[in-house]
Amino acid sequence: MTLAQFAEGGLFAPRKIADAFRTTSDDVARTVGLGKDAVQRKDRVRSDKTQRKLREMVEVINKVEPRFGSALMAYAWYRSEPLAGFAGQTAMQLVKSGRADDVLEYIDAVDAGVHA
């Protein structure tokens, strides 16, 4: 999916992200380590922290979507598949703990044929 499909008014829109992944805005907030207020209150949705967390999740999912054939399947992978070399943590757990760059590097390494 393109980033524009997740955006509204130049910002990542939790409702659009939730619709794309057939879930709720509250669930999207939990998957990136935010409280539900962060995706319900306009001032919180616009905050740098909320936008950064949403962007990180979308970047990871967009990067693996071609591998899985759909954004929905990529979202399922993001939430549930333990990553080798990260003590069994999922991409979601790593993004929640501020390690989105590690997840993106892992995906690049796997795509390059390096087994993590």
Please report whether residue 81 resides in a domain. Answer: yes
Please report whether residue 72 resides in a domain. Answer: yes
What's the total number of domains in the chain?
1
Task: Name the CA dihedral angle for 47, 34, 14, 31, rounded to a multiple of 10 degrees.
Answer: 140
Please report whether residue 66 resides in a domain. Answer: yes
Model confidence pLDDT, tens digit, residues 21-62: 999 999 999 999 999 889 888 889 999 999 999 999 999 999
Domain that holds residue 19: 3-111
Q: What is the pTM of this model?
A: 0.88
Please report whether residue 67 resides in a domain. Answer: yes
Angle at 99 between CA 29 and CA 62, to 5 degrees: 65
Residues forming beta bridges with residue 8, ordered by sequence position: 11
Please report whether residue 8 resides in a domain. Answer: yes
Task: Judge contact between 96 and 104, C-beta under 8 A.
Answer: no
For residue 53, the SS3 value is helix
Secondary structure letter of residue 1 according to DSSP: -
Looking at residues 64-87, what average pLDDT do you find?
Answer: 94
